[in-house]
Each structure stands twice: as structure tokens, then as C-alpha cells.
Structure 1
Amino acid sequence: MRPTSLKFVPIVCLSTLSIATLAEADIIKDSKAKLDLRNFYMNRDLRDKNAPQSKSEEWAQGFLFRAESGYTEGPVGFGLDVMGFMGLKLDSSPDNFGTGLLKGDRNSHARDEYSEAGFLAKARWSKTDLKVGTQEPLLPPLVRNDTRLLPQTFRGASINTRDIEDLNLDIARYDRVNYRDSSNNEKMTVKQSGGRNIVLGQQKASDEFILGGGTYQLTPDLAASYFYSELDGLYKQHYGSVVHTLPLGPGQNFKTDIRFARSTDDGNSNIDNDVFGAQFSYKTGGNIFSVAYQQLSGDTGFAQVNGTDNSLVNQSQLGDFGGQNEHSWQFRHDYNFAALGAPGLTLMNRYFIGDHATRIRQGEGKTWERNLILTYVVQSGPFKDVAFSWRNGITRSNFNSDVDENRLIITYSIPLW
């Protein structure tokens, strides 16, 4: 393995220098920085006999440094944030490469390390924030993926304002994406897997994704959202949701989450999709019982930027049941063992079943999936706040890959200042 520490040192030095410069503007007192450690083992057993590779298995260590400055004084405040990510290969082989934890070379072999740095200039006036640079959006039209060693990031500009009471508005434009197993900024394209049957024309990628919309808190228990987004030349999308929480007494509530999206082409695709989803959850004590239903219709499946997560109610560990005309159910149970005197220990089980998916060849597409997530966060002692997580997923389908998957993740966050 090649020495890697030299690549990480410049990232830390650059961030330290940036924060030191900001300190001269008397904003160091509001700054903060942390280093997140992420140790990740992943095993995927591909049950498809026709797959060129039957198994992928890798182990890696991630370092995620983030520093956020405060703002300068005055009607308009200015600041600068810095991030530096690095991934180290602990175990991988040409036969087992492909989990998405590590960056590959031209021969699809895992590199010993990969790293990236990002900078974010920001300004604030009243309750409005302008940010330009490397970002990790978590909005319904664009949800960055953070399910591997390093997170997916986007380059662009965004504005968030909360100047109107109970209204949270967002406007953003992005021109490049950096995938979770990459160090390069690239143009964006559309996800085509999962039975979506999406076909692109001459234009395969875009350098402009725009979004606008927000969430209005109608009452303390009721919120409504609407967003418009567009991946230039490829698709346009309208998204809406309504979330209501009904208190039922001490430690109890009933939550209703309704979502709808309409996606159409923007000149270089065949995208045409409507999706409706509804999730109902009952919380009592340490338990949350949930059921969800999702239905897609149209000439294609759901449209989203490739590599991202999405806001569908049946987004799962291994899929999202976003295929053309696919109908799916989810049955879920969450339990917090603090109710039994074991704080820090949580368990989630969920089961999905999907059908009615349109296959390119004749026949109905069917899929089922089961997920289990067991997490424990150490509550005291020298290892306080160290988190251990086991994520198990199994899926079987007649049009997607059959997969058995395990992820073992250890995380720890170190405040630096």
C-alpha cells in the first residue's frame, strides 16, 4: 500500500489556514470543526447465476473532516466552510471489487486510497443564507447519498430563507456531482436501473440541475411541501407532500406522510411518470409500527439524478421500488431498547413486496426485500459515542439482481474545536 498520510495533511493544513484567516475577521469564536471516523466492511453475495461476478467484499477506513466558520459582523455576514474526505483500502481484491466503498482504477481494481477537498463560501443577512461551493443537499428533489465510506457531494449555489414565519424556502443550482466512490466532479445524468425503462436521447448528461420550493408549517402538527426541479435537457419534476402528526397521549402519536411526484421529459428522454406514496406510523413507548404503500404509473419509472437517494416512501437498502408501473407495500417495526433500560440500542426491521412492474420482455415484474438494522451507541466510558451498526439486506426479483448483503460500520466523531 502506498503512503497516504501526505495527502490528508494538506487538507487539514488548508482548512486550518482558512479558519485562521477567518479568525482575523473576528468570527473564529463561532467556528467549529470535527473529524468523523468511519470503519466500513461490506459483503454482497450476488445470487444471479448469470452475473459476471458472484461476490463483492471490501473493508475500508474513512476520514471525514469538516470545519464551519461563523460569520463576520454587520448587516451581511460572510464565512467559509472547509471539508476534506479520505478513504483508505484495508482489504479488497480484483475478484471482490465493486461494493462502492472504494474508488477503482481503469482495470476495476480498488485503489489504495482516494481523497477530495471542498470549500463553501457563505453569506447571511437576516434569516437568509447564500452558499456557493461544495454542498451535501438533503432536499426532496435532490438527496445526496451517504450509504458508503464517503458521501456524495454537489458543486453549486443555494439560497435558504426563513424570513417568512413558518415558511422554509430553498432555491439551488448545481452543475457537477462527485460520486461516493470518486474524487472527480462530473456532469449529472439520470438513474436508469431498477426497471425504470428510461431511455436517453443524444444528450446523456447535464451540467445544470435547478430546484425551488419549500415547506410551510400550517400548524404545529401539520406541514405541507412543494418543490419544482429540472435536470436540464433530461427531465422536469413536481414534488409535493403533506405530513401530519396526531398526538394520542403520553409517548403515543399517529403520523401520516403523503407524497406525490410528477416527472416528464425535457427534450432528450422518454421520462413520463407519476408516483403516489403514503406511509402511516403509530408510535407507542419504544415501538414504532409503520405501513406504506407506493404506486407508480406512466411510460417510465421514477426520475432522479443518478447516484442519489430519493424521497419515495419505499426507498430501501437495496432498491426503491421505483420501476415502471411498480406497486409496493412496506411493513416496518422500529424499537428503541431504552424503553427496557438499554439506552443506545435500536433495532429496525422492514419488509417490502413489489409487483406490477413493467418488464422489457413480457411478464409482470416482482420483487421482495427484507432489511434489518441493529445499532448500538456506547453511552459512557472511554468509548462513549462510538457507534456500531449491522445492516443486513436480502432481495429477490425476476427483473433485478438477487442480493444478500451485510454492512458492518463503526463510527466515531471527534470534536476538534
Structure 2
Amino acid sequence: MNRDFKKILMGASVVTVLPGAAMADFFKDSSANLDTKNYYFNRDYREAAKQSKRDEWAQGFTFNFISGYTPGTVGFGLDVTGMLGVKLDSSPDRSGTGLLPKGSDGRAADEYSKLGVAGKVRISKTELRVGEQVPKLPVLQPNTSRLFPQTFQGATVSSRDISNLTLGLGQFDRMRDRESTDRETMSMTAQNGAYKAATSNQFRYAGGDYNLLPDLQLSYYYGELERLYQQHFFGLKHAFKFGPGTVRSELRYWDADKDGAGLAGKVDNRALSTRFSYEWAGHNFGVGYQKQYGDTPFPYVDGANTYLFTEYQLVNFSQTNERAWHARYEYDFAALGVPGLTFGMRYAQGWGIETTKLVGEQGREWERDLDIGYVVQSGLVKGLSLRWRNAQLNSSYANDINENRFIVGYTWALW
């Protein structure tokens, strides 16, 4: 019997033995929706000799059920997510966009599905979750940029019982990539060959956020991919009113080295990422500086994203000794009486790059991203979202890229 269905049956058996009143609360506070996403992806590699582009079109359906908690000091709940991806257009010479699984012959699957189940237990403001999860941590950022998110399987605990303090810890033993149906062990992103291929079946983390003042937050997190690397994160967020708008500043700093046997090789990285922004009347202007220190690039779990401010659509400016400045501008047209329409533009430039692809020289790269979105505000298709994302990359050590993504989404609230 499929493991996912075993989990559902186990969860269902727990629910059926609960008293009627408990089941009433379990379902009374529950919610369910069906999220649909129509996704067209086109990436032109321009200079690539083997595959010059990746071009696919797919439809995704995601069913989400989030239960309430049974009454009493200890409350129990169950969350279920079912996903179905359907191929609309693809071919072997342009597959591999991350929307659809790809076979050894290069052909994309006609369809694929997966199921995620997580049990949860709540005591006061402390919650234990066991099962499939999408954590959002400074030391682990799942990739959510395609039809479905990258997920991790394990157990986590989060607590808000202490005023102004949020604590969390957990352990994951398997991950499932965004277009994969298989749960696999974890590895490090190779970073242009800087790290060796090696796997681990344990990722652990612990940390928290403390609001020292209403507009000042301090953070610390520790992450460890067993036998590969360990990483400390320190963060600071601050905001204050200035004139008609608000100034926001944020500093993020990581310190990483190898863990245990260091099966992926030497890890020696420290990273500083900053951003300063000003928000006023729908406008948001932001600038920042970032620097990688040490003998190796930024380490992170393969398939995931980083928490760097330069985590852009195509690259994240995290190579050995890379320095980068970045800027962004965002505008919400609600300020002009057009709610639902938004525009964003980002630019980053990196230099001083050292990789195994460069001998006796330092590399440079820049990326420019555009993002235009609209959410229908009324009528029969209220909530329908339309989005176009364009990115352009110019690099001295990798292929130049031009990429377009068109996404149409709609969510039906079932109850």
C-alpha cells in the first residue's frame, strides 16, 4: 500500500475514535480550498551548446485541508495537501523547467501527483507538527517558485508562550523536490563544483526571534546538515517613521563550516546581506550590499533557496568572495485607485567572483528582474491572479539567460 495512503488512513482512524464534540471542533474550525495554477515557463540560455532553451506549459491543482484542534488542554489536528500536475506542452529538447518530472529520455511526464500529511498537537501557544512541511527559516528556505513547493518530512516544534519571543526547533530526514514525487535524502548545492556530491538524512535547526522593541527584532538560528555543514544565523530588523513614510533596515549574517566528517568537502563561509528601504504612498525603494567571506561559497540545501537579499529569479550572488550591490523598486497601484495591480523591478550586480570555472581571474554578473501582477477585485472571477515575470542574466563565467514566466492562478474556498 502507498505510504501516503497509509498516512491518511492512520489520520482518519485517529479522527473516528474521537468523541462527537471533539470531532465537531475538529471540523468547525477547519478550512479547505482548491488552488489552481496555470504556468508557462520559457528560459533562453542563448550561448548554451547542448540545450539552448527550456520551454514548458503545465497546469497545477492543489487541494489543502487544514483542520481545527480538538478541545481540551491538549488539542489534536491534521493537515492534508494533495497535488496534481498536468502537462500541457513540452518536448525532450526543451524539458527540465522544474514544472514537470523528466525521464531519462528527456521526456516530461504527462501528469504526476503527490500527497502531504502532517499531524499536529497544540498545548497553549506551543505546537508540534509531524509529517510533510514547508518550513520558512533563515537556515532553510524551500523553493516555492514552480507549480508546487519543495517539501520536507520530519518533526518541528514552535512556541509563542513567552511574550515577544518566538522559538522553534526541528529535524527533517527526507525532502521532496518541487517537481518530484519521491522523498529523498538531502545534499548541498554544488555551487559550481565547490562542494562534493554527498547526502545526509538529518537536517536539524533551532532558534528564535525576539521583539526587543515594537519596531526592533533580533534573531538567531542554528542549522546543521549532518556530516556536511553547520551554519549560524544572526539577524536584526528595525523600522521607524520618517516624514510621510517608513524607513526599514535589516541585517542578515551567517557563519558556516563543515559538520562532522565534512563529506562534501571544506566549508568556510561567512556572509553579510543588508537592505535599507523607504515606503511611502504605494512606493517602496530599497538598496543593499552583500559580501561573501571565506574560502568557499554560501552553503545551502540542494534544491532550496537562500535567505539572502539577492535571492533573485535566476541567481543568488553567493559565490566565493563575491560582493554585490542590489536595488529594487515596487509600486502598489492601489495608491492611484487601481487596487490589485502591482509592479516590481530588481537589479543586482556582483563582482570579485572566484569559482572552479575561472582560472587566474575574477568573475562578474548582473541580473535584472521585472514583475507585474494583477488580482481581479470583483465580479465572477474575483480573486483571479495574473502575473508576468521576466529576468535577464549576464555573466562572465556562465551562460547569459533571458527568462519569462506567465502565471494564472485562482483559489476556490471550499469551506
- The two structures have a TM-score, normalised by structure 1, of 0.93
Count of aligned residue pairs for this structure pair: 402
User: In the alignment, which residue of structure 1 is the partner of 2:144?
Assistant: 146
* Aligned equivalents of 1:309, 1:188: Cα separation in 2: 14
CA contact (8 A) 2:189 2:195 kept: no
Q: 1:16 offset after TM fit, Å?
A: 11
Q: Which residue of 1 aligns with 2:114?
A: 116
Aligned-residue offset at 1:48? 2.0
Partner of 2:229: 235
In the alignment, residue 195 of structure 2 is paired with which amino acid?
V
Q: Which amino acid aligns with 1:223?
A: Q
Aligned twin of 1:37: 36
1:70 corresponds in structure 2 to: 68
Contact 1:102 1:111 in 2 (8 A): yes
1:303 aligns with 2:299: yes
- Residues 335-414 of structure 1: matches in 2 within 5 Å? 335-360=331-356, 361-414=359-412
1:283-333 superposed Cα distances (whole Å, 9 cap, x missing partner): 111111100110001111001101111111111010100101000111110
Partner of 1:3: none
Cα distance change on mapping 1:20 and 1:35 into 2, 3 Å: farther
**Equivalent residue for 1:260, pick from 231, 253, 260:** 253
| Equivalent-residue separation in structure 2 for 1:289 and 1:66 (angstroms) | 35
Q: How far has the Cα of 1:20 moved from its partner?
A: 7.2
Aligned partners of 1:23, 1:409: CA distance in 2, in Å?
44
Task: Answer with 395-404 or 153-162: which moved more.
Answer: 395-404
Corresponding position: 1:47 with 2:46: yes
CA distances 1:230-254 after superposition (whole Å, capped 9, x unpaired):
000000000011000111244x100
**Judging changes above 3 Å, is the alpha-carbon distance between structure 1 residues 90 and 274 closer, same or farther for their aligned structure 2 residues?**
same
3-state SS of the aligned residue for 2:334? helix
- Taking a change above 3 Å as real, the CA distance of residues 74 and 270 of structure 1, as seen in their structure-2 partners, is same
Corresponding residue of 2:241: 247
**Residue equivalent to 2:216:** 222
Q: Which residue of 1 aligns with 2:320?
A: 324
Give 3-state SS (helix, strand or coil) of 2:207's partner.
Answer: strand
What is the CA distance between 1:404 and its match in structure 2?
0.4
Structure 1 SS opposite 2:377:
coil
Q: Structure 2 regions of 5+ residues with no counterpart?
A: none
For residues 93 and 325 of structure 1, what CA distance do their matches in structure 2 show? 39
1:103-149 CA-partner distances (Å, limit 9, x unpaired): 11221210000110111111000110000000010111111111011
When the two chains are superposed, the root-mean-square deviation of aligned CA atoms in Å is 1.9
Cα deviation, 1:51-77, whole Å, max 9, x if unaligned, reads x10011000000111101111111111
- Is 1:191 the counterpart of 2:189? The answer is yes
Judge conservation of contact 2:190–2:196 (CA < 8 Å) in 1.
no
What is the CA distance between 1:15 and its match in structure 2? 12
Query: Structure 2 CA distance, aligned partners of 1:294 and 1:212?
Result: 25
Q: Does the 8 Å CA contact 1:44/1:56 hold for their aligned counterparts?
A: yes
3-state SS, counterpart of residue 28 of structure 2: helix
Shift of 1:14: 7.4
- CA 1:23–1:155: 2 relative to 1, 3 Å: farther
Rounded Cα–Cα distance in structure 1 between residues aligned with 2:146 and 2:331: 24
Indicate the larger mover: 210-219 or 397-406. Answer: 397-406
Q: Identify the residue that residue 98 of structure 1 maps to in structure 2.
A: 96
Residue identity opposite 2:247 in structure 1: F
Matched with 1:157 is 155
Please point out which of 78, 81, 87 is paired with 2:79: 81
**Which amino acid is 1:260 matched to?**
Y
What letter matches 1:243 in structure 2? K
8 Å CA contact retained: 2:48, 2:399: no
TM-score normalised by structure 2 residue count: 0.93
Q: Displacement, 1:398? A: 1.3
Q: CA deviation at 1:401?
A: 2.5
Distance (whole Å) between structure 2 residues aligned to residue 274 and residue 398 of structure 1: 24
Distance (Å, rounded) in 2 between the aligned partners of 1:199 and 1:270: 8
Cα deviation for residue 18 of structure 1 reads 7.7
Q: How far, CA to CA, are the matches of 2:9 and 2:112 in structure 1?
A: 17
Question: Could you tell me which amino acid in structure 2 is paired with residue 238 of structure 1?
Answer: H
CA distance in 1, matches of 2:399, 2:14: 47
3-state SS in 2 of match to 1:331 = strand
Q: Which residue in 1 is equivalent to 2:180?
A: 182
Gaps of 5+ in 1: 1-6
Kindly state the Cα deviation for residue 19 of structure 1 after the two structures are TM-superposed. Answer: 10
Paired AA for residue 225 in structure 2: L
Instruction: Return the alpha-carbon distance in structure 2 between the equivalents of residues 55 and 15 of structure 1.
Output: 45
1:4 corresponds to which residue?
none
Q: Is the contact made by 2:188 and 2:195 (CA closer than 8 Å) also made in structure 1?
A: no
